[in-house]
Structure 1
Amino acid sequence: MSTAPPSPIHTRTASAADTLKMLVRYKAWANGLTFGSMMALPEGEALRQRPTRFGNMVHTLNHVYVVDDIFRHHLQGKKHSYTARNTDLSPAIGDLWEAVQEMDRWYSDLVDTWSDEDLAKAVHFEFVGGGEGVMTREQIVLHVVNHGTYHRGFVGDLMYQVPFTPPSNDLPVFIRDHYCNAR
């Protein structure tokens, strides 16, 4: 897998494929910051039950992983075995981090093979909760990136409750650090 980002976007207009390549790398980078922060918390804080939809930080990020995996299956044209958008139990944080890194590599490797024309291919699937769905490849990748960002925000809020200040993992910071300084 190439870890070099596509050409810096500040020097030319990026194609849609270039933008998706940048976004999946952003997602991997932000996941690294989030997991690094979560693993640096005092013992038990990442699994401490809190008043949030998924109960704790690890289970929240497990939900992101499950949704990423569901859409990986859709992109592969394969059936998945999920009956819900999360598992019943939270995995060990180290195991989840390894699985997330593999997932991030898979998305980066896949998107690296796509041209702008490939992005428009329709993917038909069935939603976990029932019902037929159809999205383009581009829409699926935009969804997994956006979905991860949304839930990392929840985890950041939970970290402030520890209290712990997580590092900024916003897209402009990624662009600044990975593109603008590449001149």
Structure 2
Amino acid sequence: MKAHFERFARYNRWANRRLYAVAAELSDAQYREDRSAFFRSVRGTLNHILVADRVWLRRIEGDGPTPFALDEILYDGFDDLRAAREAEDERLIRVVAEQEEARFAADLHYRSLARQAFTMPFSAVLAHVFNHQTHHRGQAHTLLTQFGLAAPSIDFAYFLLDK
């Protein structure tokens, strides 16, 4: 199971790099423009993905920054957000690689941002982290195409073929 999640961590980095490469073509005004998306803009959507990753990685590692709200804007400017995304993707790859195989069958006990206690299988937590990113990358992908940009192919199958 570890190898499965290591592959998804690498895919995640690959997909984020491709998406951010296209997002870099936006003007600052486009990046910030409210497009009535769930997190309003490309800026809001990409920040939300990073926020959620930091929340989950803190639960897994017991360390790291703790965002206060799921719509928090951690990085106002695109370049700073892109650098933080790169670092977080490397962190996620490292965290998965450092786990013993037995951890994937164990439970993770954690607290929500509202401090409510939960228990979830560790493998389900990782599946959620990667699925969550895929979901919101899809939203960002749509926003990019609404601006007339040629959004990248970021399907998992393309990652596997890109080896």
- Give the TM-score taking structure 2 as reference length: 0.91
Given the alignment of the two structures, is residue 168 of structure 1 paired with residue 153 of structure 2, yes or no? Answer: yes
Given the alignment of the two structures, is residue 87 of structure 1 paired with residue 72 of structure 2, yes or no? Answer: yes
Separation in 2 of the partners of 1:109 and 1:130? Answer: 27
Structure 2 counterparts to residues 112-151 of structure 1, below 5 A: 112-151=97-136
- 131-140 or 160-169: bigger deviation: 131-140
Q: Is the 8 A contact 1:50 1:56 kept in 2?
A: yes
SS at match of 2:162: helix
Q: Is the 8 A contact 2:32 2:43 kept in 1?
A: yes
Q: Is the 8 A contact 2:47 2:73 kept in 1?
A: no
Q: What letter is aligned with 1:52?
A: A
Separation in 2 of the partners of 1:79 and 1:166? Answer: 32
Q: What letter is aligned with 2:88?
A: M
Structure 2: runs of 5 or more not aligned? none
Structure 1: runs of 5 or more not aligned? 1-15, 179-183
Please say which structure displays the higher CA radius of gyration.
Answer: 1
The structure richer in helix per residue is 2
Structure 2 counterparts to residues 7-156 of structure 1, below 5 A: 16-78=1-63, 81-88=66-73, 91-156=76-141
SS at match of 2:120: strand
- 105-114 or 151-160: bigger deviation: 105-114
Q: What letter is aligned with 1:55?
A: R
Given the alignment of the two structures, is residue 159 of structure 1 paired with residue 144 of structure 2, yes or no? Answer: yes
SS at match of 1:44: helix
Q: CA RMSD in A?
A: 1.8
Cα deviation, 1:43-71, whole Å, max 9, x if unaligned, reads 52221111111110011010010010001
- Give the TM-score taking structure 1 as reference length: 0.82
SS at match of 1:49: coil
